[in-house]
């Protein structure tokens, strides 16, 4: 896995934001899921960087990037980085939270985006309604507020197999990597810290504005409601498509990185 010595730094208006920058060619930006960092893409970067310039940032408050001290939006942070790089428009590829950042950035800063891939995500107004996810989200929120790292981490790692599998069904190395990244991000924050994130609202109502190719990817073992959200998003976009990574859950890119990279390369070649 990469470490801090591999990273570059972008001096934003509210602290330095870290990013990995490798390869050359058209720009592809890889956006990680919540509580982890750019290292979630370590298995994908080498193949992508053979043909493209690959940027893998750490979202504010995650990994090696600064915490927020003032209100901010994910989309604005990413837009500032893209303008700093002066290398777009970019193809944005986002897993879970990263997928929301991708669609938010496309809606708020469309000139900077050439195409979007969401994985295990749709738009920011999607909310889980099934009892398993709702109970897990309540456990995560309660443990975070109480500063109970052990309970929070145990609950967070349950997201990797999902509701219908156990940790025994997952490669232990995947769980180790997720644990390492999550602990690193969690160590940057305290239970009484103010949440400065300003979310983009009404995003699905605006998907008719999208005029670039979009691919919505899901693991085959993700809940039906997330598949339905991806299908709804793709159907609302003129060049919207869907794809499934068999035998995987919410972290499809981690469970089958080769299959996920092939999907990305095929999509990129079609642009």
For 218-264, the pLDDT digits (tens) are 999 999 999 999 999 999 999 999 999 999 999 999 999 999 999 99
Contacts of 127 (CB under 8 A, 6+ apart): none
d(CA 29, CA 116): 10
Whether pLDDT at 179 is above 60: yes
Residues 175 and 231 reside in one and the same domain: no
Residues 174 and 207 reside in one and the same domain: no
Model confidence at 2, pLDDT cuts 50, 70, 90, reads low
Of 142, 167, 186, which marks where a domain is finished? 186
What value does the mean pLDDT of the chain take? 94
Decide if 192 is inside a domain: no
Whether pLDDT at 1 is above 60: no
Residues 9 and 123 reside in one and the same domain: yes
Domain around 49: 4-127+197-270
Nearest partner of 21 among 62, 65, 52, judged by Cα: 52
| Cis? peptide before 121, omega within 30° of 0 | no
Domain tally, the chain: 2
Residues 254 and 212 reside in one and the same domain: yes
Average pLDDT over residues 178-182: 97
Residues 96 and 142 reside in one and the same domain: no
For 152-162, the pLDDT digits (tens) are 999 999 999 99
Residues 177 and 253 reside in one and the same domain: no
Is residue 259 within a helix (H) or strand (E), and if so which, with residue range? helix 257-270
Residues 159 and 39 reside in one and the same domain: no
Regarding pTM above 0.75, the answer is: yes
User: Would strands 27-31 and 90-95 be described as parallel, antiparallel, or unpaired?
Assistant: parallel
Tokens of 188: 């940057």
Tokens of 2: 């990469």
Decide if 28 is inside a domain: yes
Decide if 75 is inside a domain: yes
Decide if 254 is inside a domain: yes
Whether pLDDT at 138 is above 90: yes
Edge-to-edge order in the sheet of strand 214-219: 8-12, 15-22, 53-57, 27-31, 90-95, 113-119, 214-219, 240-245
Residues 215 and 86 reside in one and the same domain: yes
Model confidence at 267, pLDDT cuts 50, 70, 90, reads very high
d(CA 156, CA 142): 12
Residues 46 and 160 reside in one and the same domain: no
* φ/ψ bin of 120: left (φ > 0), alpha (ψ from -120 to 50), beta (otherwise): left
For 58-103, the pLDDT digits (tens) are 999 999 999 999 999 999 999 999 999 998 799 999 999 999 999 9
Residues 221 and 108 reside in one and the same domain: yes
Residues 123 and 202 reside in one and the same domain: yes
What percent of the chain lies above the pLDDT cut of 90? 88
pLDDT value of residue 88: 79
Decide if 191 is inside a domain: no
Here the contacts of 194-200 (C-beta below 8 Å, separation 24 or greater) are 196/68, 196/69, 196/70, 196/71, 196/72, 197/68, 197/71, 197/72, 197/73, 197/74, 198/71, 198/72, 198/73, 199/73, 199/124, 200/73, 200/75, 200/104, 200/107, 200/108, 200/124
Decide if 159 is inside a domain: yes
């Amino acid at each position: 896995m990469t470490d801090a010595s591999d990273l570059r730094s972008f001096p934003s208006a509210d602290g330095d934001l870290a990013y990995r920058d490798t390869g050359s060619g058209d720009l592809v930006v890889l956006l990680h899921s919540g509580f982890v960092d750019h290292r979630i893409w370590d298995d994908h970067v080498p193949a992508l960087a053979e043909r493209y310039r690959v940027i893998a940032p750490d979202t504010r408050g995650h990994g090696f990037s600064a915490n927020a001290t003032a209100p901010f939006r994910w989309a604005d942070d990413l837009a500032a980085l893209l303008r700093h790089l002066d290398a777009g428009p970019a193809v944005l590829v986002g897993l879970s939270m990263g997928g929301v950042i991708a669609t938010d950035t496309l809606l708020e800063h469309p000139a900077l985006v050439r195409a979007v891939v969401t994985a295990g995500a749709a738009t920011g107004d999607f909310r889980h309604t099934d009892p398993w996810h709702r109970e897990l989200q309540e456990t995560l929120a309660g443990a975070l507020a109480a500063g109970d790292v052990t309970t929070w981490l145990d609950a967070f790692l349950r997201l990797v197999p999902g509701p219908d599998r156990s940790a025994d069904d997952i490669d232990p190395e995947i769980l180790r990597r997720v644990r390492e990244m999550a602990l690193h991000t969690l160590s940057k924050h305290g239970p009484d810290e103010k949440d400065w994130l300003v979310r983009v609202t009404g995003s699905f109502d605006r998907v008719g504005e999208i005029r670039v190719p979009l691919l919505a990817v899901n693991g085959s073992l993700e809940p039906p409601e997330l598949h339905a959200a991806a299908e709804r998003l793709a159907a609302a976009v003129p060049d919207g498509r869907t794809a499934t990574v068999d035998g995987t859950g919410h972290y499809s890119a981690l469970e089958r990185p080769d299959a996920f990279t092939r999907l990305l390369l095929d999509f990129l070649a079609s642009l």
